[in-house]
Amino acid sequence: MIGGIIGESFFEILYPLKCVCCSGNLFSREIPICRSCYQKLKFSSTRVCEKCGRSLKEYEHLCSDCAQKRIGIEFSRSCVYYDDISSVIVKKFKYANRKDIGLFIASVMNEKLLREAEYSDVDCITYIPFGYFKKHNRFYNHSGVLAENLSQMTGLNIEHNLISQRWFCVPQAILPENLRRKRPPMFGRGKHSIEAKKVLLIDDVVTTGRTLSDAVYALKKHNKIERVVSLTFAC
Residues within the interface to Zn ion (CB under 5 A): 19, 21-22, 24, 34, 37, 49, 51-52, 63, 66
Q: Least distance to Zn ion from the beta carbon of 209, Å?
A: 7
Q: What is the residue-wise DSSP string for 72-91?
A: --SEEEEEE--SHHHHHHHH
Q: Exposed e or buried b for every residue in 164-183, given b needs 16+ CB within 10 A?
A: bbeeebeeeeeeeeeeeeee
Q: What is the residue-wise DSSP string for 141-207?
A: -HHHHHHHHHHHHH--EE---SEEE-TTPPPGGGS-HHHHHHSPPSEEE-S---EEEEEEEEEEE-S
How many angstroms separate the most distant Cα atoms in the chain?
Answer: 66
Closest to Zn ion by CB, 34 vs 202, is 34
Closest to Zn ion by CB, 27 vs 132, is 27
Closest to Zn ion by CB, 130 vs 217, is 217
Closest to Zn ion by CB, 189 vs 227, is 227
Q: Least distance to Zn ion from the beta carbon of 34, Å?
A: 3
Closest to Zn ion by CB, 47 vs 134, is 47
Q: Least distance to Zn ion from the beta carbon of 4, Å?
A: 27
112-121's contacts with Cβ under 8 Å and 24+ in sequence apart are: 112/77, 112/78, 112/79, 112/231, 113/150, 113/154, 113/200, 113/231, 116/77, 118/75, 118/77, 118/229, 119/200, 119/229, 119/231, 121/197, 121/198
CB 110 within 8 A of CB 42: no
Q: Least distance to Zn ion from the beta carbon of 177, Å?
A: 17
Q: Least distance to Zn ion from the beta carbon of 127, Å?
A: 21
Closest to Zn ion by CB, 34 vs 229, is 34
Q: Least distance to Zn ion from the beta carbon of 94, Å?
A: 19
